[in-house]
Amino acid sequence: MLCTTTHLLSDINKLTEFASNNQTAKAYVISPGYLNKSKSWKLQILKSVLQAKYKVNDESGCIYRFEVENGCGFDHDLQGKREFSEDLNFKTILKFD
């Protein structure tokens, strides 16, 4: 008999804390169309989360890149202020099997 447990986590900090304290077999991300570049919400297998920090003028922030199973991904700035560009240095903060 296979037993699984589902945990619904609402933000990146909770995901990071949970993943560091538990052995996670599989993680999913639910994203709205404006993030996943489609017309609707999607549920996708999450492979990794990367982070890039930036500083513009006197403001600093961080962008998270969520990479999903099909090789695609999407970026999200928690402050919603940064225009994404290729000059960011992303580092992996979470990896899932």
The number of beta carbons lying within 10 Å of the beta carbon of residue 58 is 5
Helices (H) then strands (E): counts for the chain = 2, 5
> Where does 5-73 have alpha helices with state H?
12-21, 33-36
- pLDDT per residue of the chain (97 residues) written in tens, 0 to 9: 666 777 788 878 888 888 777 776 688 899 888 888 889 999 999 999 999 988 877 878 888 999 999 888 888 887 776 666 667 899 999 998 7
Strand partners, 42: 31
Token pair in block for residue 96: 């899932």
Separation of alpha carbons 53 and 40, rounded Å:
29
8-state DSSP, 51: E
Evaluate if pTM is beyond 0.85. no
